[in-house]
């Protein structure tokens, strides 16, 4: 039986997500950018109206605005995009259990043998596309072929809302004439080397001498040659929580940072996202690592071992310790990242309900100041709170108020206190899932460096 592989690629994903909740962005040039208020940073995603002016992903915002002065800009909301990504993957998994998510906005599907259920490949692809558009308001392109590489290449041939088949009998006509830069897996530096060797198209790569490619590129050269000749034996790999080796977040800053206090604010937001993701997958990590990339593009990573945790404040605390030990104010930072790894095999977790949360409040475990009615709060998500030094929005939830651990131990053992704290974090995560990440936000005080 001939393999049938789909690559579903969401079109202009970040800005498309924003357009589902903001009608003013539809039909006009718009983009998700680093810092629209300061008009600094880079373009993270542009819609097709903006692309018509020459605006591209990773373009410096000021350059993009020179091309398209009236372009509407919105700040990134990665948690919202991740939620939309999960909704997309849920739809895709209803078509086949053999699904491999490749990134936040694309996935491979093994549709082999599904013709009896969903019709011919093009019919199945059209059904997927329509379901995603009707249920989520998002657009996608779908590549169809016999292997992952060709499906990926096919998905790039027609955007947006494109369905493209690329079978082995099509490669000479559809694949080989394409410029070498278009080939999946070949970056700028590799394409420069290939062009210097006289290889300008995928077809020229397919006909080039393998031994020479191996001498210049090693095994990568052989892999490139094989893919150019439509050979890719890799399988669609179904992944589950056991396959997760690390959970991390990083951000390219809208402007270079030399202040460690500003860096801590960024690190807090990233640690919050890492903790929430780790709890979703019930993954407690023993290694916390930070990443700093400087303006000269040099990168350092530093890590430390901690007791197994998925609590936000413990991930953040370890990250801050590493940050303080390795910060150099004479070296401006352009990217900050934090991750956890070294996961425990299994986590015992007792489900906590909203009633448990209210009982904890009535018993004094949660301060009266803590409000859970955050869904109707419409404060600006970029409001800067001078008291906490954190740029968060909406309802501010102080961990010290929630846990009460600073003032009282409530007669609980340390293990029991920790278990309650973990369950409470899970409840807050559920509220965020229901009402939106920006509607329930913690306000952890960033301590000044000693």
* Catalytic annotation, residues: 106
Q: Count of H helices and E strands in the chain?
A: 16, 14
Cα atoms in the Cβ-side hemisphere of radius 13 Å centred on 195 = 12
Strand intervals (E) in 50-191: 72-74, 99-103, 106-110, 140-145, 163-165
The radius of gyration of the chain's CA atoms, rounded to the nearest angstrom, is 24
Give the tokens for residue 383: 């409001």
Angle at Cα 166 formed by Cα 165 and Cα 170, nearest 5°?
Answer: 125
Distance CA 99, CA 93 (A): 7
Q: Are 208 and 214 in contact (CB under 8 A)?
A: no
User: What one-character-per-residue DSSP string does 269-293 give?
Assistant: HHHHHHHHHHHHTT--EEEEEEEEE
Distance CA 287, CA 305 (A): 5
Look at strands 106-110 and 140-145 and give their pairing: unpaired
Give the tokens for residue 391: 């740029």
141: helix, strand or coil: strand
Distance CA 195, CA 448 (A): 53
């Amino acid at each position: 039986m001939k393999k049938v592989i789909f690559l579903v690629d969401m079109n202009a994903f970040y800005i498309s997500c924003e357009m589902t909740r903001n009608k003013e962005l539809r039909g006009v040039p718009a983009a998700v950018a680093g810092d629209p208020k300061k008009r600094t940073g880079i373009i993270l995603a542009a819609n097709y109206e903006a692309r018509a002016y020459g605006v591209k992903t990773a373009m410096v915002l000021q350059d993009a605005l020179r091309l398209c002065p009236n372009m509407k800009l919105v700040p990134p909301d990665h948690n919202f995009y991740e939620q939309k990504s999960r909704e997309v993957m849920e739809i895709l998994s209803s078509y086949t259990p053999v699904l491999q998510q490749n990134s936040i906005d694309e996935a491979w599907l093994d549709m082999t043998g599904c013709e009896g259920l969903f019709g011919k490949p093009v019919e199945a692809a059209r059904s997927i596309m329509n379901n995603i558009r009707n249920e989520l308001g998002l657009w996608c392109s779908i590549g169809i072929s016999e292997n992952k590489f060709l499906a990926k290449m096919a998905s790039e041939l027609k955007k947006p809302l494109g369905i493209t088949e690329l079978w082995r009998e099509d490669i000479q006509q559809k694949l080989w004439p394409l410029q070498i830069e278009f080939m999946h897996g070949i970056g700028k530096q590799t394409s420069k080397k290939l062009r210097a060797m006289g290889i300008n198209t995928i077809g020229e790569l397919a006909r080039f001498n393998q031994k020479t490619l191996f001498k210049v590129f090693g095994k990568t050269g052989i892999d490139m040659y094989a893919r150019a000749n439509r050979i890719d034996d890799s399988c669609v790999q179904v992944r589950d929580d056991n396959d997760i080796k690390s959970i991390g977040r990083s951000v390219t800053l809208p402007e270079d940072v030399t202040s460690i206090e500003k860096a801590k604010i960024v690190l807090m937001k990233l640690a919050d996202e890492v903790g929430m993701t780790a709890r979703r997958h019930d993954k407690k990590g023993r290694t916390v690592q930070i990443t700093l990339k400087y303006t000269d593009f040099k990168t350092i990573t530093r890590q430390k071992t901690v007791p197994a945790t998925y609590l936000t404040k413990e991930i953040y605390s370890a990250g801050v310790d590493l940050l303080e030990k390795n910060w150099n104010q004479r070296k401006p930072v352009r990217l900050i990242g934090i991750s956890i790894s070294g996961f425990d095999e299994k986590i015992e977790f007792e489900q906590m309900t909203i009633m448990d949360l209210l009982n904890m409040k009535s018993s004094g475990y949660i301060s009266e100041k803590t409000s859970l009615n955050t869904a109707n709060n419409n404060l600006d998500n970029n409001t800067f709170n001078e008291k906490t030094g954190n740029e968060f929005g909406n309802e501010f939830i102080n961990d010290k108020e929630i846990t009460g651990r600073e003032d009282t131990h409530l007669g609980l053992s340390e293990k029991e206190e920790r278990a309650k704290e973990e369950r409470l974090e899970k409840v807050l995560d559920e509220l965020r899932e229901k009402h939106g990440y920006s509607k329930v936000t913690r306000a952890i005080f960033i301590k000044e460096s000693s």
